[in-house]
Amino acid sequence: MHEWLARRLSLRLRVFLFFALVALGGLAAVVVGLWAGYRRVPEAGLESGFVFAGLIACAGILALVVWVWFLFDENVAKAIQKLAGGLRARAHADIAEDLDHQPARYLGDLAPAAQAISGSLAATKNALAEAVERETTRLAVENARLQALLGDVPAGVLLCTSDHQIVFYNGNAQAVLSGEVSAGLDRSLLDYLSPGPIRRAYERLNASEDPDAASDLLCAGMQSGEVLAGRMRLVHLPQRSAGDPGYVLTLRDVTTDLALHSGREELLEEVFDRVRRPAANLQTVLDADAEATGNGRAALLGEVGALTHAITDLSKRYDAARGGWWPMEEIRSSELVDSVVALCAREGITLIADAERLMLRCDAFQLVALLTHLVERLANVIRAKAISLRIAEEEDGGALITIGWFGNVLQVGLLEGWLDVPLEVGLANVTGRSVLATHATEAWPELGAAQRALLRIPLPRIAPPIETSQARARRAAIYDFDLMNRAPTGALAETPLRELTCVVFDTETTGLLPSSGDEIVQIAALRLIGGKRIPGETFESLVNPGRPIPASATEVHHVTDAMVADAPTIADVGRRFHAFAHDAVLVAHNAPFDLEFLRRHETDIGKCFDHPVLDTVLLSAVVFGQSETHTLDALTERLGIVIPPEARHTAMGDTIATAAALEMMIPMLEGQGLRTFGEVIAAVRRHSRLLKDANSPDALER
């Protein structure tokens, strides 16, 4: 009936009839009160009758007002609030779903008009997005290529602001700046490297009049202790505010190089020391003409023997260490095999090749020449048939190169002759034997199965396993050049939302009562800068809770006792998470719950979790109104965020969903005029009845 009337009557007429009904109801309450009072006059007197009439009239009017308030709250106030939240979401967030106008069905043409506006806005956005996409596709492809190229530059490359905040880094820079926390955007470079050399190099360049000047420096990693060689050059980029220029810094880990150089110098010093003494003694014996006497001859032979022993020993040590001194590169075993196959094919030799998925650390140019040389000799000298080449991983972590063929086993003397022949790789003294010595290995023939003859060459040094696709993705360059233009804002309260560095996190626990002994079993986090998620800057760890995980909890987050049996404790994980969240605003859905678990262990962790906090529950109340449901499921559904079922109630899955919700709500908050952290905190504190704000009272004064 109500919906039929809503369709048949205009909104103005319905409002008029509603207030007419209120007036009639008020008059009816007065009339009923007077009638009831009049009935009491004969029994209780005139005064009592009037009092009774007034009470009945007031009760009736009060009941009418409460009923009117309830109808207005349900069908007008809440409806307008939901409609405004839906419009704001579609105005500031990329939500393609149609606006639900059912809650505002009693507001006349307002709901259909709002739906038409949102539809028109969506169509305009789609058209604009298509136009922008057409114009930016080429730039996006070029940007991806640039990131990939910079990600694979052998040296670590960083771009920093004048106050040493990281604006750009490639994958190798992240590897070089290793430690408790990897390099990240908007982090201080001085947290990773010894500040003195960095500051002095920057001061030298800033004082120089040559804009193309560069400064070499040597510094140490603050956390890893590695020695790094670097080169700094100033970069004069256009900036919004005048100030000192930023700089590009290239870094290379020279710890191993210095160690090898030191070892080579020690060996060289020992060579001179052990050879000098016998040589001097020999010279003394010869100068004294004492070699003709018995004692002189014995002394001469003794010194010659000592000299021979020293030279032999030092030669062996030199050969053993030579592989470490020689410059090596990393190459995939499949690429090395393909090169040998191609060179053999040019000589008319068919080679059957196979290689396990390995990264070899070797001089690929020399090794390919040696293997090609051996295959050619096998085919042309001993007429080997069905020659094959295989590279496989050994149990000791090395790799084994095997050349096989049908035919006679290769004679050792013949192999020794082949190894003494120059390989014709541009240097006459590069032979098979020198290549084997460079790689600290040897070659030997043996008889294999099924009448196959074999030639084995082990490689003791291989690189770490080839990365997975996820690991390779992290090698791409990461940057946010807007950080170069960001002016200092001073107090946190004055910092715009889009300039906050946020760490969104979530925990999974053994239960819901930390005061009763429940503990964290998993923590996950990711970083947002400028309202955008930073690829690769994530944190995730299981935690050993020190107590059994109830089956009811495992059903929710799927973390079992077996999974956390060897996991670190909250003291270790909490310390690493605190470092990951250094100088950032913590963001969580129902933050007081997660922070209570962490703050209980601050003594064990050795850190205080006094970070500024944003709670997406309270942000949702600010954007959509307190009367809405503010669970993570409800919030993501309103914003059109899809959480895969397998990721729901996992620490990282909920973290990603919370981060996506925050990204979408930032422009919606700005649309309400809430642009700074202080303005947002002041707004969320008005919803303290829903949830307590996790910030300390002086949070806005930082």
Q: Where are the beta strands (DSSP E) in 130-186?
A: 156-160, 166-169
Instruction: Check residue 139 and give its pLDDT.
Output: 62
529 or 145, higher pLDDT: 529
SS3 406: strand
pTM strictly above 0.85: no
% of the chain at pLDDT higher than 90: 27
Q: Is residue 117 part of a domain?
A: no
Q: Which of 397, 324, 391, 398 is nearest to 363 (CA)?
A: 324
Backbone angles phi, psi at 363, to 5 degrees: -90, 95
Q: What is the pLDDT of residues 600-642, one digit of tens each?
A: 999 999 999 999 999 999 999 998 888 788 899 889 888 888 8
The mean of the pLDDT values for the chain is: 79
Q: Judge whether 474 lies within some domain.
A: no
Of 590, 533, 524, the C-alpha closest to 559 is 524
233 and 307 share one domain: no
Domain boundary among 253, 285, 303: 253
CATH number at residue 340: 3.30.565.10
- Quickly count: other Cβ atoms within 10 Å of residue 255's Cβ: 15
262 and 374 part of one domain = no
Greatest mean pLDDT among 430-434, 519-523, 667-671 lies in 519-523
Residue 471 lies in a domain: no
- DSSP string across 327-377: --EEEEHHHHHHHHHHHHHHTT---EEEE-S-EEEE-HHHHHHHHHHHHHH
Dihedrals φ, ψ of 504, to 5°? -90, 130
Cα-to-chain-centroid distance, residue 203: 32
DSSP H helices in 489-539: none
Ranges 33-37, 94-98, 285-289, 655-659, most confident: 655-659
- Assess whether 367 and 310 both reside in one domain: no
Q: Compute the distance between CA of residue 344 and CA of residue 177 in angstroms, rounded to an integer.
A: 43
In the block, residue with structure tokens 């710890």: 255
CA angle 543, 547, 550 (to 5 degrees): 95
What is the distance between the alpha carbons of residues 547 and 554, in angstroms, rounded to a whole number? Answer: 13
Q: Write down how long the chain is.
A: 702
Full residue range of the structural domain in which residue 556 is found: 489-701
pLDDT-based confidence at residue 232 (cuts at 50, 70, 90): very high
Domain boundary (407, 439, 459) is at 459
* 173-183 tens-digit pLDDT: 887 887 777 78
Verify that 68 and 106 share a domain, yes or no: yes
User: What is the distance between the alpha carbons of residues 321 and 309, in angstroms, rounded to a whole number?
Assistant: 18
Q: Does the residue 115 lie in any domain?
A: no
Judge if 385 and 502 occupy the same domain: no
Last residue of a domain, one of 237, 253, 269: 253
CATH number (domain holding residue 316): 1.10.287
What are the distances in angstroms from CA 434 to CA 326, 333, 443? 12, 21, 12
The alpha carbon dihedral of 239, 241, 247, 248 has a sign of negative
In a domain, 135, yes or no: no
Q: Is 127 exposed, middle or buried (0-12, 13-18, 19+ CB in 10 A)?
A: exposed
Q: Higher model confidence: residue 378 or residue 305?
A: 378
CA–CA gap between residue 92 and residue 671 (Å, rounded): 7
Residue 127 belongs to some domain of the structure: no
In contact, 401 and 337? CB cutoff 8 Å? no
Total domains in the chain come to: 5
